[in-house]
């Protein structure tokens, strides 16, 4: 049983700080080794999970959700009403999709997502969070100076465009629906999905380009 005692944890951290090897790869290896010894982990299962998150579960899932929302107004209504149900309908349920909220960009507004307290992220539809999303730089600044951070990503907004920052402080996770680019009326959902960047679904990209994929 866990102790739920922060003082005990602080002591363990201090011990680990001075006793574990410095190389993170060796630390993870040590953890995997002892868990295999304890029968709690199989290394071949770990290989498979890495494969699944490298090949299947990533931002292309989210891109298909966005493309379908663009192409299918009924689906978009369902996605905005209950994001979790809508992605489940597409077979994309998974870690952190239990309370999914979609927020939509408009010509007058821009949405951007952060977790200032840790690194919460909708893994099931966006896969692994980029490293920058988890850094002190992004977490500290995007709530306070979102326009400066967005400018670093190449997103320039007029003063009149409202920026809405969503700080994921509970178990709700956010998916930004970027605006559909003009002159894409003839595109299939698969073609549309290729226009949707990972960053546009976090909110650090805005104007999607045709032919950039």
Partner 1 sequence: MDGIHDLGGKLGYGPVDVNEPEEPFHADYEGRMWAISRTARAPSVTIDWWRHIRELIMAEDYLNRPYFDSWAQTTIASMIDAGVFSIEELESGISQTPPLGQVKVVDYDGVLKQNTGMAFRFDRPVEEPAKFAVGQTVLTNAKGHSGHTRLPEYARAKVGVITHYRGAHVFADDGAKGLENAQHLYTVSFKAIELWGDTANPNDSVSLELWESYLAAN
Query: Under rule CB under 8 A, which residues in 1-30 are in contact with partner 1?
Result: 1-6, 8-10, 12-17, 19-20, 24-25, 27-30
Active site residue 97: no
205 φ, ψ (degrees, to nearest 5): -140, 150
Three-state secondary structure call for residue 105: coil
Binding status of residue 183 toward partner 1 by CB under 8 A: no
Touching partner 1, residues 123-162 (CB under 8 A): 124, 127-128, 130-132, 134-141, 143-144, 146-147, 149, 152-154, 159-162
The catalytic residue among 97, 115, 168, 200 is 115
Closest approach of partner 1 to the CB of residue 185, in Å = 28
CA atoms within 13 A on the CB side of 97: 23
Three-state secondary structure call for residue 39: coil
Binding status of residue 90 toward partner 1 by CB under 8 A: no
Binding status of residue 60 toward partner 1 by CB under 8 A: no
Active site residue 115: yes
Active site residue 140: no
- Compute the distance between CA of residue 143 and CA of residue 149 in angstroms, rounded to an integer: 9
Strand partners, 110: 163
Q: What is the dihedral of CA 104, 172, 31, 127, to 10 degrees?
A: -20
Binding status of residue 81 toward partner 1 by CB under 8 A: no
The catalytic residue positions are: 115, 118-120
């Amino acid at each position: 049983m866990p102790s739920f005692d922060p003082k005990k944890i602080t002591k363990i951290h201090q011990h680990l700080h001075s006793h574990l090897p410095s190389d993170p790869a060796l630390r993870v290896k040590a953890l995997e080794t002892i868990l295999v010894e304890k029968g709690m982990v199989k290394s071949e299962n770990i290989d498979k999970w890495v494969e699944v998150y490298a090949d299947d579960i990533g931002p292309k899932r989210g891109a298909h959700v966005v493309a379908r929302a663009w192409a299918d107004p009924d689906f978009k209504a369902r996605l905005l009403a209950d994001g979790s149900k809508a992605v489940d309908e597409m077979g994309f349920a998974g870690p952190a999709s239990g309370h999914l909220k979609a927020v939509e960009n408009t010509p007058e507004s821009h949405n951007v997502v952060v977790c200032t307290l840790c690194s919460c992220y909708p893994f099931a539809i966006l896969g692994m969070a980029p490293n920058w999303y988890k850094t002190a730089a992004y977490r500290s600044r995007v709530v306070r100076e979102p326009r400066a951070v967005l400018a670093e990503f190449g997103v320039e907004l007029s003063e009149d465009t409202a920026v809405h920052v969503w700080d994921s402080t509970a178990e709700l996770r956010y998916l930004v629906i970027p605006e559909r680019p003009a002159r894409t009326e003839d595109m299939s959902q698969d073609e549309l999905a290729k226009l949707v960047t990972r960053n546009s679904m976090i909110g650090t990209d805005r104007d999607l380009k045709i032919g950039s994929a």
